[in-house]
Amino acid sequence: MRDKILDKKYTLDDEYYYGIIRENVKKYRKKKNLTQQNLADMADISREYICDIENKKRNKHLTISVLSRISEALDEDITTFFKKEDD
């Protein structure tokens, strides 16, 4: 079993998951009719940080604790942000 685990190849990298998180933060923010400033205030982070997270070109990485604050502000389970749209 251990050899089988060691041989497993992972094809999805961090950028893949950051992309899914980025899309979901924006989707759920808009679904709740919140501006980036509203969400930033609720999560106690800057609007610029929210903008960086949502903007694909800026490629902002975030910590689990920041994602937790965003998920609480949006009243969504943190695991929701890791799910791709077609999941």
Give SS3 for 43.
Answer: helix
Spatial distance between the Cα atoms of 21 and 5, rounded to a whole number of angstroms: 27
pLDDT at residue 86 tops 80: no
Which has the closest alpha carbon to 19: 52, 59, 77, 75? 59
Residue 81 gets which letter from DSSP?
G
Q: Give the class (CATH, top level) of 13-82.
A: mainly alpha
pLDDT for residue 11: 81
Spatial distance between the Cα atoms of 35 and 50, rounded to a whole number of angstroms: 10
pLDDT digits over 18-63, tens only? 999 999 999 999 999 999 999 999 999 999 999 999 998 876 778 9
Residue 26 gets which letter from DSSP?
H
Question: What's the whole-model pTM score?
Answer: 0.83
pLDDT at residue 2 tops 80: no
